[in-house]
């Protein structure tokens, strides 16, 4: 096994760890009605997924704000915040 292969494996492990932690933190932020923080952490999840070339984990659905229609993304999914 070459050093490059070892470095690549370690990089992937670190990215996966960051993705999992950001995902959990985003859920916690959403549960505490901190939509901007949840959104930023969800973007970190997306970045990690893109960096490792995999589809992102499920986006964190945020509760709608009173008096506002929830925004939707182009594919029909609810947008965060």
Reported pTM: 0.61
Residue 61 burial by Cβ neighbours in a 10 Å radius (0-12, 13-18, 19+): middle
Once rounded to an integer, what is the mean pLDDT over residues 48-72? 64
Q: Tell me, what's the pLDDT at 29? A: 95
Once rounded to an integer, what is the mean pLDDT over residues 50-79? 60
Q: Tell me, what's the pLDDT at 2? A: 67
pLDDT band at 56 (very low <50, low <70, confident <90, very high): low
* Cβ pair 30, 70 in contact under 8 A: no
């Amino acid at each position: 096994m070459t050093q490059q292969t070892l470095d690549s494996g370690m990089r992937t492990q670190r990215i996966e760890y960051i993705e999992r932690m950001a995902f959990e933190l985003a859920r916690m932020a959403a549960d505490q009605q901190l939509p901007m923080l949840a959104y930023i952490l969800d973007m970190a999840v997306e970045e990690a997924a893109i960096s490792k070339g995999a589809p992102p984990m499920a986006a964190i659905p945020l509760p709608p704000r009173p008096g506002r229609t929830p925004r939707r993304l182009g594919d029909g999914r609810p947008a965060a915040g």
